[in-house]
């Protein structure tokens, strides 16, 4: 009898051992998949799991540039789920990978057309730089300055710990920028128009009456009478204006991103976040005076005039909006390219989230 019990125990152990199936690591969790389901077949097949990971990565790259791909992907999932065997699944995955790779190449090509050739040339110079120097770096939600890190060992320790925990956001940002990956250029609804342009007036609404053609903050004119010597100075008046429309706060209300291009700083636009409701309240105030009542708008200024600022773009990077600034210096036999990204937030100025300078000897390829 004892031998029979031992034999039954051994048989049960063997059956249970055979029921333990090895799961691989596709792009989704295999923890709760049902046996016999499409997901189960993917989880237990190494090649299918690898194909699923590869396809998902390409799909996410495309989605950052082209949101319409989501519907296409959902339709493909229905076709995939109609498969009855592993061979069919592998064939569907391989076909989808080839299709998505073509869509990714096309999406990058279309997106890159929005990036000027000059900017692309500067990015190519930066990619081949012989030396680099870091500026500001954002890790998690905190921005660390280079000078502070060089002079504060405690802060440096915190920075390294945070980077080890959350990853190197700025390095990922530059890596993606150089491959034009996860970067979407947002084009203005109006570009380089005069301040009296009828479409600009219509889109800005009450904000147009706030005297946005005057660069008060830059020239320190708060509370001053706009006397002849000031307003007749040619460099004082911005010459061209651009306008973007977007929802910065993700609250369903569209705000405006307004850029002024001055004569003296023709390569250095100033950006302001405009809320038409706030402008309406301001101009309806009794005794409204542009010199004093525009203060709340000027504290939304996102970028002031800077020497050697070559290009500014409004871009979307991983679902957040940034001003991408590129500056260049030519000194002796060196070319310096400074690229920094500044996340756009409403109603206050932010420091650059990432800043990096690239050095290259003149004439080097």
Model pLDDT for residues 156-166, shown as the tens digit of each residue: 999 999 999 99
Closest of 288, 320, 326, 317 to residue 61, by C-alpha: 317
Give the torsion through C-alpha atoms of 343, 345, 351, 354, to 10 deg: -10
SS3 content of the chain, % helix, strand, coil (to 5): 45, 20, 35
Give the count of alpha carbons within 13 A of 244, CB side only: 21
Rounded Cα distance, 88 and 95, in Å: 11
Strands 238-246 and 334-343: unpaired
User: Which position has the higher pLDDT, 55 or 340?
Assistant: 55
Report pLDDT digits (tens) over 298-328. 656 665 445 555 567 788 887 788 888 787 7
DSSP letter, residue 264: T
Percent of the chain with pLDDT over 70: 69
Instruction: Say how many Å lie between the first and final Cα of the chain, rounded.
Output: 86
DSSP 302-335: -B---TTEEEEEEEEETTEEEEEEEEEEEETTEE
Q: Output the CA torsion sign for 312, 313, 314, 316.
A: negative
pLDDT at 251: 64
Report pLDDT digits (tens) over 88-134. 999 999 999 999 988 887 766 666 666 777 777 778 888 888 788 88
pLDDT at 11: 42
Q: In the block, which residue shows the tokens 């996102």?
A: 302
Under 8 Å between Cβ of 346 and 273: yes
Rounded Cα distance, 292 and 222, in Å: 6
pLDDT at 110: 61
Q: Decide if pLDDT at 9 tops 50.
A: no
pLDDT at 50: 94
Closest of 186, 188, 187, 179 to residue 108, by C-alpha: 179
Report CA 64 to chain centroid distance, whole Å: 10
Q: What is the pTM of this model?
A: 0.61
For the purposes of burial, counting CB atoms within 10 Å of the CB of 238, is it exposed (0-12), middle (13-18) or buried (19 or more)? buried
């Amino acid at each position: 009898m004892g031998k029979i019990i031992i034999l039954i125990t051994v048989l049960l152990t063997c059956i249970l051992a055979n029921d333990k199936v090895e799961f691989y690591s596709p792009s989704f969790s295999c923890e709760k998949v049902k046996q016999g389901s499409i997901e189960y077949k993917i989880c237990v097949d190494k090649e299918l799991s690898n194909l699923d990971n590869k396809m998902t990565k390409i799909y996410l790259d495309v989605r950052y540039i082209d949101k319409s791909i989501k519907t296409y992907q959902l339709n493909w999932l229905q076709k995939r789920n109609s498969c009855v065997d592993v061979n069919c699944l592998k064939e569907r995955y391989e076909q989808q990978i080839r299709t998505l790779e073509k869509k990714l190449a096309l999406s990058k090509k279309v997106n890159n057309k929005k990036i000027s050739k000059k900017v692309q040339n500067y990015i190519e110079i930066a990619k081949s730089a012989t030396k680099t120097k870091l500026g500001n770096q954002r890790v998690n939600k905190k921005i660390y300055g280079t000078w502070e890190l060089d002079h504060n060992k405690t802060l440096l320790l915190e920075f390294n710990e945070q980077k080890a925990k959350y990853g190197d956001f700025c390095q990922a940002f530059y890596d993606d920028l150089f491959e034009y990956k996860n970067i979407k250029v947002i084009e203005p609804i109006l570009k380089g128009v005069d301040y009296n342009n009828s479409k600009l007036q219509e889109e800005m609404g009450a904000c147009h009456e706030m005297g946005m053609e005057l660069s008060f903050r830059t020239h320190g004119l708060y509370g001053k009478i706009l006397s002849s010597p000031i307003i007749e100075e040619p460099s004082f008046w911005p010459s061209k204006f651009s306008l973007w429309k977007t929802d910065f706060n993700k609250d369903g209300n569209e705000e405006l991103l307004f850029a002024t291009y001055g004569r003296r700083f023709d390569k250095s636009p100033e950006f302001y976040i405009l809320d038409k409701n706030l402008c309406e309240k301001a101009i309806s105030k009794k005794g409204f005076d542009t010199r004093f009542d525009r203060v709340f708008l000027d504290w939304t200024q996102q970028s002031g005039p800077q020497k050697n600022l070559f290009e500014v773009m409004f871009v979307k990077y991983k679902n957040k909006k940034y001003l991408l600034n590129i500056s260049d210096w030519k000194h002796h036999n060196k070319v310096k390219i400074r690229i920094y990204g500044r996340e756009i937030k409403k109603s206050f100025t932010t420091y650059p989230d990432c800043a990096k300078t690239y050095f290259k000897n003149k004439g080097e390829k």
